[in-house]
Amino acid sequence: MASAYSLAWDVSLRDRNTFHLDARADCLATVHDATALPSLLAEPALQDLPLMVLGAGSNVLFATDRFAGCLIHLQCDSTRIVDDAGEHALVHVDAGCEWDALVDWTLDHGLQGLENLALIPGQAGAAPIQNIGAYGVEVGKFIAAVHVYDRRARACDRLTTERCEFGYRDSVFKREPERRIVTAIELLLPKAGATNLSYAGLGEELAAMGGLSPTPRNVAAAVRRIRRRKLPDPAVAGNAGSFFKNPVVTRAVAAELQSRFAGVPVYPTSTDAECKLSAAWLIEQAGWRGFRDGDAAVSAQHALVLVNLGRATGPQLLTLAHRVATSVQEKFGIALEPEPRIVGATFQL
Ligand SMILES: Cc1cc2nc3c(=O)[nH]c(=O)nc-3n(C[C@H](O)[C@H](O)[C@H](O)COP(=O)(O)OP(=O)(O)OC[C@H]3O[C@@H](n4cnc5c(N)ncnc54)[C@H](O)[C@@H]3O)c2cc1C
């Protein structure tokens, strides 16, 4: 029988992060069977090493040229329907599944809900970490439970939705990044119902596609078209998608901002007291869109995306991120918070 995991030493991460940063890791553990995690973690060679889970590397910035520890990469990738009775199906998805392939798998099985989240890079196991969201939908709405190996308790655990504490690009997993290794997720997906067109651009895209009806499959196609047009392709210009979260502020702060600056976009949140600002708008107004310092740049296509145009290093991208956030803070008094995990440095304004 093939080993449940394998270890490699002094590994290049260039093709393991979508910024394509030329960092290395002391060790990379590739896990084919999540039940082997306790044995892996008991390996004598790993006892004194920091550990970090690395999925597809689409939401990390290696701010150091060496991760002096062991990266754990889960490759288990089976998907199955575990309960099909009623109006919803419960789907068990291993952490190593590729997210966008999973979206297609659910559509192929007549299930909906994930279509607005099409084309988000990464693994299914990373989806709950920051409660991935796009085009009016967050994955937390469909997550029934998250299976983890809890390193603190040294035991497996199954966290139901309430325990995941999902918020905007946030969860209990993101707040305690060292503690849990997500091994699988359970999704509860409807078999029918209206698709979510709350993001106005989706209806416009369907119209531009010849007036297509908003079926889950058509919505996924529309989302993919919009994303391909709006976001730089990491294969062409390394990036991690949105580099900053949209700031959530009180209504009073938003009103004060609107009184000082014309055209400040403000979006609702789930609470009346708070609203969301557009980080892209703030960055663009501060004059950063298309700015380039060596190969570290703010995308000319989308102001929220930092890009590696060739040989930028992690520290160079982090310095650029600091400069952008500092200037937004000075101009608008709003603190931007990075969305990706920054490895080997801290981000402080
Ligand atoms: C072009 C582009 C567009 C993007 N668009 C969006 C978008 O629309 N919406 C959105 O929300 N995000 C978006 N992202 C960010 C990213 O794709 C998601 O956050 C994705 O879920 C990250 O998956 P990953 O496997 O690459 O995780 P990684 O980048 O490898 O890891 C991200 C974090 O999750 C942790 N992690 C990963 N897997 C596990 C696990 N199994 N157990 C425990 N911790 C784990 C890591 O330790 C790290 O802290 C985009 C990124 C890119 C490059």
87 is catalytic: no
- Which one of the listed residues 242, 289, 299, 341 is annotated catalytic? 242
Task: Name the residue among 146, 150, 149, 156 with its Cα closest to residue 186.
Answer: 146
> Model pTM?
0.97
* Distance from C-alpha of 148 to C-alpha of 150, rounded to nearest angstrom: 6
Tally Cβ neighbours within 10 Å of residue 152. 10
CB 57 within 8 A of CB 17: yes
> How many angstroms does the Cα of residue 127 sit away from the middle of ligand 1?
6
Atom of ligand 1 nearest to the CA of 129: 34
The pair of structure tokens assigned to 331 is 């101009």
Task: Tell me, yes or no, if 138 is annotated catalytic.
Answer: no
Which residue has a Cα nearest atom 53 of ligand 1?
240
Percent of the chain with pLDDT over 70: 99
User: How many degrees, rounded to 5, is the angle at CA 291 between CA 287 and CA 292?
Assistant: 160
Which among 349, 341, 339 has a CA at the least distance from the CA of 168?
Answer: 339
Q: For residue 231, give the ligand 1 atom closest to its CA.
A: 1
Give the pLDDT score at 3.
87
Q: What percent of the chain has pLDDT over 90?
A: 97
Nearest CA to ligand 1 atom 11: 132
| DSSP conformation letters of 115-168 | GGGTT--SBGGGTTTTT-EETTEEGGGGEEEEEEEETTTTEEEEEEHHHH--BT
SS3 31: strand
Question: What's the gap in Å between 201 CA and the centre of ligand 1?
Answer: 24
Residues touching ligand 1 (Cβ under 6 Å) are 18, 52-60, 74, 95, 120-123, 125-127, 129-130, 132-134, 177, 181-182, 231, 234, 239-241, 341
Could you give the angle at the alpha carbon of 185 between the alpha carbons of 179 and 188, nearest 5°? 140
Q: How far apart are CA 216 and CA 310, in angstroms?
A: 37
**330 catalytic per annotation:** no
Strand partners, 262: none
What phi and psi values does residue 239 have, to the nearest 5 degrees? -160, 170
At residue 270, the pLDDT reads 84
Q: Would you state the pLDDT for residue 2?
A: 66
**Per-residue pLDDT reduced to its tens digit, 80-137:** 999 999 999 999 999 999 999 999 999 999 999 999 999 999 999 999 999 999 999 9
Q: How far is it, in rounded angstroms, from Cα 158 to Cα 12?
A: 33
What 3-state class would DSSP assign to 52? strand
Q: What is the average per-residue pLDDT within 250-277?
A: 94
